[in-house]
Amino acid sequence: MTADRGRNRRTAALLISGGVLLALFLVSLTLGRYPVPLWDVVRILWHRFWALFGLSTPVVWTDAMEIAVISVRLPRVVMACLVGCSLSAAGATFQGVFRNPMASPDILGASSGAAFGAALAILLGCSARFVTIFAFLGAILTVALVFLISARAPGLRVVNLILAGIMVGSLFSAGTSYLKLVADPANQLPAITYWLLGSLSGTRLASILPAAIPMALGLVPLLLLRWRLNLLSLGDSEARALGVNTDLLRAVLILCATLVTAASISVSGVIGWVGLVIPHLSRKLVGSDNRALLPCSMLTGAAFLLLVDDVSRNLLATEIPIGILTAVIGAPFFIYLLLRKEKTL
Residues that bind another protein (CB under 8 A): 32-35, 55-60, 62-64, 67-68, 71-73, 122, 124-131, 181-187, 189-191, 194-195, 199, 201-202, 204, 313, 316-321
Query: 105, 24, 101: which is closest to 274 by C-alpha?
Result: 105
In order, the DSSP letters of 26-70 are HHHHH-SSS---HHHHHHHHHHHHHHTTT------S-HHHHIIII
Q: What angle do CA 80, 73, 52 make, to 5 degrees?
A: 100
- Residue number with CB closer to another protein (75 or 105): 75
Task: Tell me the closest approach of the beta carbon of residue 60 to another protein, in angstroms.
Answer: 6
- Residue number with CB closer to another protein (184 or 247): 184
d(CA 6, CA 114): 40
- Residue number with CB closer to another protein (242 or 315): 315
- Residue number with CB closer to another protein (144 or 324): 324
Query: 199, 198, 146: which is closest to 172 by C-alpha?
Result: 146
- Residue number with CB closer to another protein (202 or 332): 202
Task: Tell me the closest approach of the beta carbon of residue 82 to another protein, in angstroms.
Answer: 17
What sign does the CA torsion over 104, 107, 108, 112 have?
positive
Task: Tell me the closest approach of the beta carbon of residue 92 to another protein, in angstroms.
Answer: 28
d(CA 117, CA 184): 17
Task: Tell me the closest approach of the beta carbon of residue 57 to another protein, in angstroms.
Answer: 6
- Residue number with CB closer to another protein (194 or 333): 194
**What residues contact 342, with CB distance under 8 A and at least 6 apart?**
none
- Residue number with CB closer to another protein (153 or 311): 311
Task: Tell me the closest approach of the beta carbon of residue 184 to another protein, in angstroms.
Answer: 4
Q: Give residue 236's region: left, alpha or beta (phi > 0; psi -120 to 50).
A: alpha
Longest dimension (CA), the chain: 69
| Residues 308 and 329: beta-carbon distance below 8 Å | yes
CB atoms within 10 A of CB 255: 16
Task: Tell me the closest approach of the beta carbon of residue 176 to another protein, in angstroms.
Answer: 16
d(CA 89, CA 258): 10
Task: Tell me the closest approach of the beta carbon of residue 35 to another protein, in angstroms.
Answer: 7
